[in-house]
Amino acid sequence: MSIITVQIVAAALIGIGLYGALSQQSFVMLMMGLELILNGVMLAAVGFWAYSGTGIPEGQLLTIVVMAVMAIEMALGFALVVAVYRGKQADMTEALEGFKH
Amino acid sequence: MSFVDLIFLICGAIAIFSGWRVFCTDSMVRASFFLLISFIAVGVIMLLLGAVYLGVALFFMMAVEMMVMALFMVMFMMNPAGLNPMKMVHQDKFAALAGVVAFFALSAVAVFGDFPDQPRPSDLDPVVTLGKELLGDSMLVFESAGVTLLATMIGVVAMSSHRGRYGDANAGSRPPGLEPGGMPAFSGDQEGSSGGHHHHHH
């Protein structure tokens, strides 16, 4: 376990999450991709904190902020799903073509 | 190879494998549990790295969050149990390429980057220093996160509620016109609604 291996695991999580966020049609699966990206970001932040930050507490604070971002993303995402479902009876991103303009 | 290295390898493999399975499984409920497994493996790695509070907080937060997610899956999805094969993707090849490119670019930064070798001191108490930081120098950041969460709660309730204090949530709303000032693409009954409770099925 070194900073390189930890960052490679984080990079893999971010890559998989990016694939999911770009490719999934269902809103909830898309949000899972975003969650996976944030998962990798948190792991990378903790890795830097442990190996090259001399243990400064701001490194952990960054992870707490990312956790808050995660909760906000989840709540707002589900509210948007509910709002779109109520308006369009749809749970797929393709249903939002009309919102482009 | 030490015991810690072994645990790290296992947890890293579990985190990546279950993260990948999220987008391969037929069942959306199972997908949310794979995501939970991935988060728990990352939490164990955080514990190995010495971030005790963050690792444990991740366990609790993700257990609840994935339960909520599984609940929404059952509510919205046509195929929550995975009885039929399911693959709902668009721009699959481009997305896979983007993911692979992101992985290799970030890995290259990790491998070739020149990071300072300043490990945390072994006598550091991560929980105490984090607590002193949160309620000390970085209190403004911490409290801003709290206020943002409060604003999120209010916004979420406003966005997802059926009706507001003075009527339906979409009362009097009009879809944007196709061209500036023009007619909307869908002109439902925005003119003919004269009070009462309408159930719109668009």
In order of their start, the domains of chain A are: 3-100 (1.10.287.3510)
- Residue B25, pLDDT score: 83
Phi, psi of B163, rounded to the nearest 5 degrees: -140, 155
In a domain, B25, yes or no: yes
Confidence of residue B195 (pLDDT cuts 50, 70, 90): very low
Total count of domains within chain B: 2
In a domain, B97, yes or no: no
Of A19, A28, A87, the CB nearest to B28: A28
Residue B115: name the closest of A44, A57, A53 by CA. A53
Q: Are residues B68 and B134 in the same domain?
A: no
Bridge partner list, A24: B89
User: Which run of H or of E encompasses A8?
Assistant: helix A3-23
- Residue A101, pLDDT score: 45
User: Which run of H or of E encompasses A46?
Assistant: helix A27-52
- Residue A59, pLDDT score: 87
- Residue A45, pLDDT score: 93
Of A14, A36, A81, the CB nearest to B22: A36
> Do residues A26 and B92 touch, judged by C-beta distance below 8 A?
no
CB within 8 Å: B118 and A51:
yes
pLDDT of B197 above 70: no
**pLDDT per position as a tens digit, B92-147:** 889 999 999 999 999 999 999 888 888 888 888 889 999 998 899 899 999 999 99
CB within 8 Å: B19 and A54:
no
> Do residues B37 and A37 touch, judged by C-beta distance below 8 A?
no
> Do residues A77 and A27 touch, judged by C-beta distance below 8 A?
yes
pLDDT of B82 above 60: yes
pLDDT of B91 above 90: no
What is the extent of the structural domain holding B16? 1-82
Please name the residues in contact with B40: beta carbons below 8 A apart, sequence gap of 6 or more. B58, B59, B62
Q: Are residues B1 and B72 in the same domain?
A: yes
Alpha-carbon distance of B41 to B94, in angstroms, equals 28
Q: Are residues B8 and B58 in the same domain?
A: yes
> CB of B148 within 8 Å of any CB in chain A?
yes
In a domain, B153, yes or no: yes
User: Which residues of chain A, if any, have pLDDT below 70?
Assistant: 87-91, 95-101
Smallest CA–CA distance, residue A41 to chain B, in Å, is: 11
In a domain, B143, yes or no: yes
> Do residues B134 and A61 touch, judged by C-beta distance below 8 A?
yes
Q: Does residue A2 sit in helix, strand or coil?
A: coil
- Residue B80, pLDDT score: 58
How far does CA B159 lie from the centroid of its chain?
18
**pLDDT per position as a tens digit, B7-56:** 999 999 999 999 999 888 877 788 888 999 999 999 999 999 988 999 99
Q: Does residue A90 sit in helix, strand or coil?
A: coil
Alpha-carbon distance of B115 to A58, in angstroms, equals 17
Specify the amino acid at residue B60: F
**pLDDT per position as a tens digit, B48-77:** 998 899 999 999 988 888 888 888 877 776
In chain B, what residues touch A28 (CB-CB under 8 Å)? 28, 69, 72-73, 76-77
What is the three-state SS of chain B?
A: CCHHHHHHHHHHHHHHHHHHHCCCCCCHHHHHHHHHHHHHHHHHHHHHHCCHHHHHHHHHHHHHHHHHHHHHHHHHCCCCCCCCCCCCECCHHHHHHHHHHHHHHHHHHHHHCCCCCCCCCCCCCHHHHHHHHHCCCCHHHHHHHHHHHHHHHHHHHHHHCCEECCEECCCCCCCCECCCCCCECCCCCCCCCCCCCCCCCC
How far does CA A6 lie from the centroid of its chain?
18
Alpha-carbon distance of B106 to B112, in angstroms, equals 10
CB atoms within 10 A of CB B185: 11
Bridge partner list, B164: B167
B residues 181..200 contacting A (CB < 8 A): 185-186
**Domain stops at, among B52, B82, B112:** B82
CB within 8 Å: B54 and A63:
yes
Interface size, chain A vs chain B, as Cβ–Cβ contacts under 8 Å: 252
In a domain, B10, yes or no: yes
In a domain, B36, yes or no: yes
B residues 58..97 contacting A (CB < 8 A): 58, 61, 65, 68-69, 72-73, 76-77, 88-92, 94-96
> CB of B53 within 8 Å of any CB in chain A?
yes
CB within 8 Å: B152 and A72:
yes
> CB of B31 within 8 Å of any CB in chain A?
yes
In a domain, B33, yes or no: yes
In a domain, B55, yes or no: yes
CB within 8 Å: A28 and B138:
no
Q: State the complex-level ipTM.
A: 0.90
Confidence of residue B172 (pLDDT cuts 50, 70, 90): low
A5, A18, A23, A72, best to mutate vs chain B, most B CBs in 10 Å: A23
